[in-house]
Chain A
Amino acid sequence: MSEFKSGFFVGGESCNGRVLIVDDEPDIRKVVRMTLQKAGYDVLEAENGEKAIEIINYGENRLLLDVMVCDIRMPKVNGIEAIAYFRENYPRVPLIVLTGFPDTDMATSLLRQGVVDYLVKPVEGEILKAAVGRAMEQRELARL
């Protein structure tokens, strides 16, 4: 279970929520993790859609995963397929797309499927944090 980079339970630290970052590029995972951890989020990583599905179905993650930030172009299970799976099986987990290739048609189609934000790399830390913050609020509402 080496992909579980962060602990499952966050101790005394203030935890604003748990985010799963799905991207095949280790660099991206590293930098997104850095930005989000500084903002007080607990971060999990997956290198493709298949791993993301494994992670959410593991242990208590299905209850504790708040937001997913997902790339599109990835090997094995790509972002489109992973998002479809998450929307169907975990409709309450808000999804944010973070892609290197802006594509209006794809953005429209994904937003229709309920993706809450469509961000294009490179995205500034503030914008990413704001998007995750909004998604967290949505997640809270879904829990009520």
Chain B
Amino acid sequence: MTSATIAHSTMETQRNTSSPAALPMKVAIIGAGRGGAALLEVLHQIRAIEIVGMTDKDVSAPGLKRAQELNVPVYGVIADLLRDHTLNVVLDVTGDPSVETMLQQHRPTGTAIVSGQASRLLWLLVQHESTLQTELLHAEKLAGLGSFAAGIAHDMNNPLQLILGMAENLADETDLKTVHAQALDIIEAVKRTTAICRDLTSYSRRASLQQDGLVNVNSKLDEALKIARYAVALQDIDIHKHYQPDIVVKGNPDKLLHVFVNLITNAVQAMEHHGTLTLETIAADGATHVRVSDTGCGIAPEVVTRIFEPFYTTKPPGKGTGLGLYNIKNVIQHMHGTIGVESHVGQGSTFTLTFPGDPSMAEEPPRAET
């Protein structure tokens, strides 16, 4: 780390990628089927693009539901959408020639129409981007598992030692009471070993088997602590939990677990095995906040602005993928949240996840997901 005096910096991930003065490009999406939904999913993550509306003649089209979740206005009639906004681009993914003809006829001046093969090309690119994000998440997860080796070996070999020792003893034990007690010890040890495999195989699988839904944040943080202890030594870390009860966010439980494991692992690594890890959940001002703080080395100002970039790492070659925080940012943005960091060199860092809205108020009842 640098020897800079107390450095302070805060940062939001959603930076405007174009020049500061430029207004976002206003885009409308016509067609809310698979293509439209996929486009919406990727384009809404880009600050320089504003999705001003979406339409589909089928009111149950999947993209429309998603648009509503993202607070993107939904229109039943294309003409209304064109009338309400000054548009830079209209993306027509209906594949319907009559829609294309209609759009060309009513095209406002200065608005570009992307339809037919051009919009198909865009869709393919978007699909590629979304596959790439999934692959990067998985690649980073697998790379991270390497660092779990020490923890896994420790946690597996301890019960194995018990099993071996007991079994050796049982081979010539004549006291039935001892035989019985040791057999039970062995069964318990096997269960512990099995639990390790179960935790880790579900953690490392490529695609989440779980649907998006309401996730209990507090129990997800606890689950993440359990997994993080394979990657980093937690035994000398003071763990403080400030959980507000019943905190839920909407998203994918497995991806959120991955985010938490990563943030906790980073925090503990920053402390070099001694310090305080604070996990905090708060619902306030209509938003949900999750904070992971450490009392570690902190992040230098020149580094903090780059930590969410893909492949950016300060670790030696082979030690870090540089994908951890980049993937976290993608997952959080997908959940319509933001991630920010506040860091003081020599004092520690706090990562704050903010999710707008209060999903517990949504019509969907919380699932018993842990």
Q: Measuring CB to CB, which residues of chain A are less than 8 angstroms from any residue of chain B?
A: 24-25, 27-28, 30-32, 34-35, 38, 73-76, 100-103, 120-125
Q: Is chain B's interface secondary structure helix, strand, loop, or mixed overall?
A: helix
28 pairs, A vs B, C-beta closer than 8 Å:
A25-B158, A27-B158, A27-B159, A27-B161, A27-B162, A31-B161, A31-B166, A32-B165, A34-B169, A35-B165, A35-B168, A35-B169, A38-B169, A73-B233, A100-B154, A100-B155, A100-B157, A100-B158, A101-B150, A121-B158, A121-B160, A122-B157, A122-B160, A122-B163, A122-B165, A124-B168, A125-B165, A125-B168
How far, in angstroms, from A24 to B163 measured CA to CA in the complex?
Answer: 17
Tell me which residues from 133 to 188 in chain B have a Cβ below 8 Å from any Cβ of chain A. Answer: 149-150, 153-166, 168-169, 185
List residues of chain A with CB within 8 A of the CB of B168.
35, 124-125
Q: Distance in Å from the Cβ of B329 to the closest Cβ of chain A?
A: 33
State whether the Cβ of B19 lies closer than 8 Å to any Cβ in chain A: no
Q: Apart from A31-B164, A31-B166, A123-B161, list 7 A-B contacts with CB within 8 A.
A: A25-B158, A28-B161, A35-B165, A73-B235, A100-B156, A121-B160, A123-B164
Asked if residues A122 and B153 are in contact (CB atoms below 8 Å), the reply is no
Asked if residues B235 and A121 are in contact (CB atoms below 8 Å), the reply is no
List residues of chain B with CB within 8 A of the CB of A74.
235
Residue of A nearest to B192 (CB): A27
Asked if residues A34 and B157 are in contact (CB atoms below 8 Å), the reply is no
List residues of chain B with CB within 8 A of the CB of A125.
164-165, 168-169
The 9 closest A-B pairs by CB, nearest first: A31-B165, A100-B157, A75-B235, A121-B157, A100-B154, A122-B160, A122-B161, A121-B161, A122-B164
List residues of chain A with CB within 8 A of the CB of B169.
34-35, 38, 125
State whether the Cβ of B236 lies closer than 8 Å to any Cβ in chain A: yes
State whether the Cβ of B189 lies closer than 8 Å to any Cβ in chain A: yes
Q: A34-B165, A101-B153 are in contact. Are A28 and B236 (CB under 8 A)?
A: no
Residue of A nearest to B233 (CB): A73
Asked if residues A101 and B159 are in contact (CB atoms below 8 Å), the reply is no
Residue of B nearest to A128 (CB): B165
How far, in angstroms, from A89 to B189 measured CA to CA in the complex?
Answer: 37
Q: Distance in Å from the Cβ of A56 to the closest Cβ of chain B?
A: 22
List residues of chain B with CB within 8 A of the CB of A76.
235-236
How far, in angstroms, from A31 to B169 measured CA to CA in the complex?
Answer: 9
List residues of chain B with CB within 8 A of the CB of A31.
161-162, 164-166
How far, in angstroms, from A24 to B154 measured CA to CA in the complex?
Answer: 11
How far, in angstroms, from A31 to B170 measured CA to CA in the complex?
Answer: 12
Residue of B nearest to A119 (CB): B161
How far, in angstroms, from A76 to B158 measured CA to CA in the complex?
Answer: 19
Q: Distance in Å from the Cβ of A47 to the closest Cβ of chain B?
A: 11
How far, in angstroms, from A32 to B185 measured CA to CA in the complex?
Answer: 14
Asked if residues B157 and A101 are in contact (CB atoms below 8 Å), the reply is yes
Residue of A nearest to B185 (CB): A27
Q: Distance in Å from the Cβ of A38 to the closest Cβ of chain B?
A: 8
List residues of chain B with CB within 8 A of the CB of A102.
153
Asked if residues B161 and A75 are in contact (CB atoms below 8 Å), the reply is no
List residues of chain B with CB within 8 A of the CB of A28.
158, 161-162
Instruction: Find the residue from A76, A102, A122, A124 having the highest chain B CB count within 10 A.
Output: A122
How far, in angstroms, from A35 to B233 measured CA to CA in the complex?
Answer: 29
CB within 8 A of A101: which of B154, B160, B166, B185?
B154
Asked if residues B154 and A73 are in contact (CB atoms below 8 Å), the reply is yes
Residue of A nearest to B156 (CB): A100
Q: Distance in Å from the Cβ of A103 to the closest Cβ of chain B?
A: 8
How far, in angstroms, from A90 to B349 measured CA to CA in the complex?
Answer: 42
List residues of chain A with CB within 8 A of the CB of B149.
101
Asked if residues A120 and B157 are in contact (CB atoms below 8 Å), the reply is yes
Q: Distance in Å from the Cβ of A31 to the closest Cβ of chain B?
A: 3
List residues of chain A with CB within 8 A of the CB of B185.
27
List residues of chain B with CB within 8 A of the CB of A75.
235-236
Q: Distance in Å from the Cβ of A107 to the closest Cβ of chain B?
A: 14
List residues of chain A with CB within 8 A of the CB of B155.
100
List residues of chain B with CB within 8 A of the CB of A101.
149-150, 153-154, 157
How far, in angstroms, from A25 to B185 measured CA to CA in the complex?
Answer: 14
List residues of chain B with CB within 8 A of the CB of A103.
150
Tell me which residues from 218 to 241 in chain B have a Cβ below 8 Å from any Cβ of chain A. Answer: 233, 235-236
